[in-house]
């Protein structure tokens, strides 16, 4: 099998990230504890350069290389750029937490970069086997990250649950892919699509393949009723890892849904839209209702994630260019909101103290009015209050659903969003109207102050000027 060197040009970002991850792994072996900051800086530099390379490819033509296994298109370029920038924020949030607990090591950043590499492969997959390989590289890195704090029993338990349920989900997806291969005789997305459109009627094997693929996707998204791992993993994992799992992988999951459902199984859209409708309604209902009962903010944000996944799925259900671009906009902006929400937990935490109870946010306005304002912006955005970006994300998805005459689904989404607003506004009430439980001043590191402030202002700025990102999402899918 001869592959021309020119075919590796579209993989330049992947090659760069892989090379740097290996370099950081080797360099870190020779670093003393005092010089561990070198691995951190190298990781941040890697993500910035990769984002620039990926952004430079956003206007390139769609190219399929490596015998049809890898595609470089504008959608992949935009999603990869967003993944790099979100992960850059994750790494900046993480440093202070890891240093305070004596677990600041290069392995965290190396595993993070390998997880990013898995997301990149997933985003650019043009073959069902490539999708599976990208998913496994991402999943295995995340399993190790959840168990990263080896002294924590909660983290070990969360990692075991995540591993067992993640393996089950991967098996479901792989079984669906194998059935699709049996029905079409190919793993190439274009060939599978052609074979499915050529068959005049749906065979039983195609229906089974579709069911297993949707179940596998639902597990990875954390949609109800395949959400059981989300609250336990979010709660048990170290907060920087929770922050990572709850943000960038959602963008990769959206890309996987686009590759599998829209590009591969587009001819069966009437069938998978019905399945997704059930998942979306259940996720919106259970995510928002159960979040109200939570006293731990990490578990509250976990159920909040489930409800947001329901909204994201609504865009896919619409099955139109408007719906897909709205879902992409939602995935990107939700990742930005999620790192801010979990980042505030890190900001309030200190050595020996996890600020993961709702009561830990009491009186934050008295302790730091600026960071209370940042948290208010993030909570209002997740609730969908204008002029934050969360409002426009929800609005664009609802418009796409209404334009395909599914008004009832939009009404259901709005109803549960109103219920969901309660637990976000409760956090704001605790910050502004309750007395603080401690008078100890906040002493966040400089990089943590900078990233929290930029995060909150970005959520507000994208809400005031959402047009550019919305137009970009529509353009890359055109």
Give the chain as a 3 state SS string.
CCCCHHHHHHHHHHHHHHHHHHHHHHHHHCCCHHHCHHHHHHHHHHHHHHHHHHHHCCCCCCEEECCCCEEECHHHHHHHHHHHHHHHHHHHHHHHHHHHCCCCCHHHHHHHHHHHHHHHHHHCECEHHHHHHHHHHHHHHHHHHHCCCCCCHHHHHHHHHHHHHHHHHHHHHHHHHHHHHHHHCCCEHHHHHHHHHHCCCCCHHHHHHHHHHHHHHHHHHCCCCCCCHHHHHHHHCCHHHHHHHCCHHHHHHHHHHHHHHHHHCHHHHHHHHHHHHHHHHHHHHHHHHHHHCCCEHHHHHHHHHHHHHHHHHHHHHHCCHHHHHHHHHHHHHHHHHHHHHHHHHHHHCECCECCCEHHHHCCHHHHCHHHHHHHHHHHHHHHCCCCCHHHHHHHHHHHHHHCCCCHHHHHHHHHHHHHHHHHHHHHHHHHHHCCCCCCCCCCCCHHHHHHHHHHHHHHHHHHHCCHHHHHHHHHHHC
- Tell me how far apart the alpha carbons of residues 420 and 455 are, in angstroms, rounded to a whole number: 22
Would you state the pLDDT for residue 200? 62
CA 247/CA 292 separation, integer angstroms: 22
Contacts with 239 (C-beta within 8 Å, 6 or more apart), sequence order: 97, 298, 342, 345, 346, 349, 354, 356
Residues 6 or more apart whose Cβ sits within 8 Å of residue 145: 108, 111, 112, 115, 237, 241, 244, 245
Q: Say what the pLDDT of residue 183 is.
A: 82
Omega before residue 340 within 30° of 0, cis: no
Nearest Cα to Cα of residue 268 among 170, 168, 195, 342: 195
What lies within 8 Å, CB to CB, of 284 at 6+ separation is: 307, 310, 311, 412, 413, 416, 417
Nearest to 336 by CA among 458, 176, 215: 458
Domain total for the chain?
Answer: 1
d(CA 445, CA 418): 36
Q: First vs last Cα of the chain: how many Å apart?
A: 33
Closest CA to 342 of 353, 351, 354: 354
- Give the model's pLDDT for residue 263: 82
Q: Which residues does the chain have with pLDDT short of 70?
A: 1-2, 200-202, 351-352
Closest CA to 102 of 149, 146, 144: 149
pTM: 0.92
Q: Give the closest residue to 376 by CA, choosing from 403, 406, 341.
A: 341
pLDDT of residue 201: 64
The token pair that represents 318 in the structure block: 């619409």
Domain hosting 433: range is: 5-477
Give residue 352's pLDDT. 65
- For position 203, what pLDDT does the model report? 72
Does residue 383 have a cis peptide bond before it, meaning omega lies within 30 degrees of 0?
Answer: no
pLDDT at residue 1, as a whole number: 57
Q: Are 24 and 110 in contact (CB under 8 A)?
A: yes
Integer-rounded Cα Rg, in Å, for the chain is: 21
Phi and psi torsions of 63, nearest 5°: -130, 130
| Measured distance CA(448)–CA(454) in Å, rounded | 10
User: How far is 456 from 157, CA to CA, in rounded Å?
Assistant: 32
């Amino acid at each position: 099998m001869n592959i021309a060197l020119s075919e590796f040009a579209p993989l330049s970002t992947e090659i760069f990230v892989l090379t740097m991850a290996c370099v950081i792994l080797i360099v870190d072996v020779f670093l003393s504890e005092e010089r561990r900051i070198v691995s951190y800086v190298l990781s941040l530099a890697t993500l910035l350069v990769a984002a620039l390379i990926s952004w430079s490819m956003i206007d390139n033509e769609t190219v399929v290389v490596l015998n049809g296994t890898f595609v470089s298109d504008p959608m992949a370029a935009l999603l990869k750029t967003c993944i790099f920038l979100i992960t850059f924020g994750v790494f900046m949030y993480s440093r202070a937490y890891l240093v305070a607990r004596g677990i600041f090591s290069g392995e965290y950043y190396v595993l993070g970069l390998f997880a990013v590499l898995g997301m990149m492969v997933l985003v650019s997959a043009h073959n069902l086997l490539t999708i599976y390989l990208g998913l496994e590289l991402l999943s295995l890195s995340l399993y190790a990250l959840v168990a990263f704090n080896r002294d924590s029993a909660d983290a070990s338990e969360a990692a075991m649950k995540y591993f067992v349920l993640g393996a089950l989900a991967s098996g479901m997806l792989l079984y669906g892919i194998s059935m699709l291969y049996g029905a079409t005789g190919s793993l190439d997305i274009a060939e599978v699509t052609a074979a499915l459109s050529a068959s005049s009627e749906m065979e039983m094997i195609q229906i089974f393949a579709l069911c297993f693929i949707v179940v596998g996707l639902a597990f990875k998204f954390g949609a109800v009723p395949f959400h059981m791992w989300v609250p336990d993993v979010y709660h048990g994992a170290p907060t920087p890892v929770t922050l990572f799992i709850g943000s960038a992988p959602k963008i990769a999951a959206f890309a996987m849904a686009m590759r599998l459902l829209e590009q591969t199984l587009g001819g069966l859209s009437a069938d998978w839209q019905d399945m997704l409708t059930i998942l979306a309604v259940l996720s919106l209902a259970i995510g928002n209702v159960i979040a109200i009962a939570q006293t731990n903010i990490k578990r509250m944000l976990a159920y909040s994630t489930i409800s947001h996944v329901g909204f994201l799925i609504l865009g896919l259900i619409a099955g139109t260019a408007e719906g897909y671009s709205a879902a992409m906009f939602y995935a990107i902006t939700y990742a930005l909101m999620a790192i801010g929400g979990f980042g505030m937990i890190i900001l309030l935490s200190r050595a020996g103290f996890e600020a993961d109870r709702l009561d830990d946010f009491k009186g934050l306005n008295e302790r730091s009015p600026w960071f209370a304002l940042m948290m208010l912006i993030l909570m209002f955005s997740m609730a969908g209050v204008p002029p934050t970006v969360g409002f426009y994300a929800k609005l664009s998805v609802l418009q796409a659903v209404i334009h395909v005459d599914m008004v009832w689904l939009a009404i259901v989404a709005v109803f549960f969003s109103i219920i969901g607003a309660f637990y976000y506004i409760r956090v704001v009430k605790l910050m502004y109207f309750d007395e603080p439980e401690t008078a100890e001043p906040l002493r966040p590191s400089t990089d943590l102050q900078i990233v929290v402030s930029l995060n909150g202002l970005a959520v507000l700025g994208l809400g005031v000027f959402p047009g550019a990102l919305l137009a970009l999402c529509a353009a890359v899918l055109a």
